[in-house]
Amino acid sequence: MIGKSSWFSPRKYGGWGLTPNCWQGWLYVVIAVLPFVLIKNTPVHYFWLIVVSLDFVDIMLHLKKDERETLHEALAERNALWVMILILVAGSFIQKEVNPIVVFALIGSTIAKALTHFHLRDK
């Protein structure tokens, strides 16, 4: 779309997202953020949000990763998921009441994991 994946690298230590690795990437970020600062709560604002979000996803999908980077990302995502699950379960016990959204999140993640294993079993 607008940005190029060669302008960015995956963020490794600060969460999810992209990090600009050249001046074109930094210029892209400034141009993408500037309308949010200047124009608020108008149709143009929301249209620009959709355009930038779609372009951001497109850039992330086209980033080139080798097998080692893919494995490291998968391990980091798995570890982050386990921490989130432990915090949700601990929070439910601390509150001494069951939040249905937390229960649905835990059941949904269990179903997603089971379906993923089922899908990847024969591959």
Mean per-residue pLDDT over the chain, rounded: 82
* Chain centroid to CA 103: 22
Q: Are residues 44 and 12 in the same domain?
A: yes
CA 102-108-112 angle, 5° bins:
145
Q: Are residues 85 and 44 in the same domain?
A: no
Give me the mean pLDDT over the 96-118 stretch.
Answer: 82
Distances (CA, A) of 99 to 83, 92, 94, 113, 114: 18, 7, 12, 22, 23
CA distance 69 to 64: 10
Q: Are residues 71 and 54 in the same domain?
A: no
Q: State which amino acid sits at residue 37.
A: V
Of 45, 61, 77, which one is at a domain's C-terminal end? 61
Give me the mean pLDDT over the 115-120 stretch.
Answer: 80
CA distance 25 to 90: 41
Reported pTM: 0.57
* Domain coverage including residue 73: 67-120
Q: What is the pLDDT of residues 26-68, one digit of tens each?
A: 998 898 888 877 877 778 888 888 888 898 888 888 887 778 8
Q: Do 45 and 28 touch, CB atoms closer than 8 A?
A: no
CA distance 89 to 67: 33
Of 25, 41, 61, which one is at a domain's C-terminal end? 61
pLDDT at position 24 is: 92
CA distance 109 to 85: 9
pLDDT at position 83 is: 87
Q: How many domains does the chain have?
A: 2
